Amino acid sequence: MDQEIADLLKQNIEASNRTTHAVRAIVRYAFTQISITTITGIVYAVGAAANLNAISVPIASAVWLIGSIFAAWAARNDLKASKVPKN
């Protein structure tokens, strides 16, 4: 009986850890996207204020693109940790 309860508790903890990783993936993606979008906006605004759109727009675009790829990559790594193992 004690071993059965211990096994159930272990399964519960493992399920909780998978949920934590899934939530972390969602939050990490959203936070990273918001941060990258803010940085992109600042780069664009500074370039527009200084009349340097020819430089700031490509830089802002590259920052946004690289940041979006990184955000997706990081979220997918966290999601992998949340998969239910196959028995």
**31 domain-assigned:** yes
**26 domain-assigned:** yes
Domain tally, the chain: 1
- Give the separation between CA 32 and CA 45, rounded to whole angstroms: 20
Q: What is the pLDDT of residue 55?
A: 95
pLDDT band for 70, please (50, 70, 90 cuts): very high
pLDDT band for 87, please (50, 70, 90 cuts): low
Question: Which DSSP symbol is given to 52?
Answer: -
Q: Are 74 and 29 in contact (CB under 8 A)?
A: yes
Nearest alpha carbon to residue 67 among 45, 44, 37, 41: 37
Q: What is the pLDDT of residues 22-68, one digit of tens each?
A: 888 899 999 999 999 999 999 999 999 999 999 999 999 999 999 99
Q: What is the pLDDT of residue 17?
A: 85
Q: What is the pLDDT of residue 15?
A: 86
**28 domain-assigned:** yes
Amino acid, res. 62: A
Domain housing 39 = 2-80
**56 domain-assigned:** yes
